[in-house]
Amino acid sequence: MKNPINGLNKVFDNRIRLGVMSILVVNEEVNFNDLKQMLEVTDGNLATHLVNLEDNGYIKVHKGFVGKKTNTTYSVTKAGEKAFSDHIAALETMIKGVK
Amino acid sequence: MSEQTRQSDTLQEISDIKRIMERSSRFISLSGLSGIAAGICALAGAYFANNIIADYYNKYNSGAGYSDKDFESLKLKLLLLAVIVLVAALLLAFVFTWRRAKQNQLPVWDLTARKLMWNVLIPLISGGLFILAMLQYNEWRFVAPACLIFYGLALVNGSKYTLTDIRYLGYLEVILGLINTQYTGYGLYFWAAGFGVLHIVYGVIMWWKYEKSS
């Protein structure tokens, strides 16, 4: 049996990053505050992980305005979608492998 | 790490992903009690509307005949009643859903609530304006069918963003509205069945299915 842990994505080791991806694959575009509310994390913590995901090319950032307030929204990239589904597939193999 | 703890960690991770996906795409706090309350408001409204219309015809048939003033007053009373019923139904529906969100410690106004609201409002506002335009041309016959059809379409559209069961309520409302187009004299009965009876039945089923135990 090949080692299933190989398929797991290091970037998704973190619960917050995994949470962000889980939200973005089922929602077209989500803003910072909604992500914060759903994941119950602090601003700084979330921001760090978002930068990490962006650096990996998994999410896209759109800076916009609502009135005079900035409204930053995030969406998943093709690469992000692929990485996420590969990660899920690896998790599935792990469960099947142990059975 | 033992194989067993690794497996339970993996299962935990998958269930977390699933939960977050669900939670971020569907508004799950919609309470069955909201449906029941809205249904009762609709039935009460239909009862009063029936009385108002009966009063009008009693006067009409008692020899007074047609008068513009009476007809205008009938229209105004019915429109006012419709607004009161709508506000009462929305208010009560909101209260029960808000209560359920609090019980489950979920935010009542979040991304999913906004999405649901937006997707329900598109067909609903279109329908509302369409019905007002019909009234503008004194076209009364299709008010009840149009209410049912547009409301049904609004529910079908919204069902993608909340518990999917509401889709079946939407289908039934649309079917009822379409049947009503062939029996236009019975609009109030169809309206009472669609907004009253169907809401109550739906509410009871939803409450039974999701809330009874909690």
User: What confidence tier does A2 reach under pLDDT thresholds 50, 70, 90?
Assistant: very low
Q: Which residues on chain B are in Cβ contact (under 8 Å) with A23? A: 20-21, 24
Q: Distance, in angstroms, between B158 CA and closest chain A CA?
A: 15
Average pLDDT over residues A61-71: 89
The answer to whether the CB atoms of B111 and A88 lie below 8 A apart is no
Percent of chain B with pLDDT over 70: 99
Please check the confidence at residue B5 and state whether its pLDDT lies above 70: yes
Is A19 touching B (CB cutoff 8 A)? yes
Looking at A1-5, A79-83, B49-53, B82-86, which range is the least confident one?
A1-5
pLDDT of residue A6: 65
pLDDT of residue B214: 64
User: How would you label B128-140 residue by residue, b for 16+ Cβ within 10 Å and e otherwise?
Assistant: beebeeeeeeeee
| Residue of B209 and A4 predicted with greater confidence | B209
ipTM for the assembly: 0.82
Q: How many CB pairs under 8 A join A and B?
A: 51
- Are A50 and A38 spatial neighbours (Cβ–Cβ below 8 Å)? no
Q: Based on C-alpha coordinates, what's the Rg of chain B?
A: 22
Q: Which residues on chain A are in Cβ contact (under 8 Å) with B20? A: 19, 22-23, 38-39
- Are A33 and A26 spatial neighbours (Cβ–Cβ below 8 Å)? no
Is residue A57 left, alpha or beta, with left meaning phi > 0 and alpha meaning psi from -120 to 50?
left
State pLDDT tens for residues B73-88: 998 999 999 999 999 9
Candidates A15, A27, A88; nearest CB to B25: A27
Q: Which residues on chain A are in Cβ contact (under 8 Å) with B3? A: 98
Q: Thinking of the domain A14-94, which architecture would CATH place it in? A: Orthogonal Bundle (1.10)
The answer to whether the CB atoms of B14 and A94 lie below 8 A apart is no
State pLDDT tens for residues B114-173: 999 999 999 999 999 999 999 999 898 999 999 999 999 999 999 999 999 999 999 999
Q: Which residues on chain B are in Cβ contact (under 8 Å) with A38? A: 20, 23-24, 110-111
Is B51 touching A (CB cutoff 8 A)? no
Chain-wide mean pLDDT for chain B? 93
Which sign, positive or negative, has the C-alpha torsion A22, B118, B203, B127? negative
Please check the confidence at residue B203 and state whether its pLDDT lies above 90: yes
Q: What is the pTM of this model?
A: 0.85
User: What confidence tier does A69 reach under pLDDT thresholds 50, 70, 90?
Assistant: confident
Q: Distance, in angstroms, between A22 CA and closest chain B CA?
A: 5
Is B9 touching A (CB cutoff 8 A)? no
pLDDT of residue A1: 43
Domain extents for chain A? Answer: 14-94
The answer to whether the CB atoms of B16 and A19 lie below 8 A apart is yes
Other C-beta atoms lying within 10 Å of the C-beta of residue B168: 15
The answer to whether the CB atoms of A30 and B24 lie below 8 A apart is yes
Residue corresponding to tokens 């009966």: B54
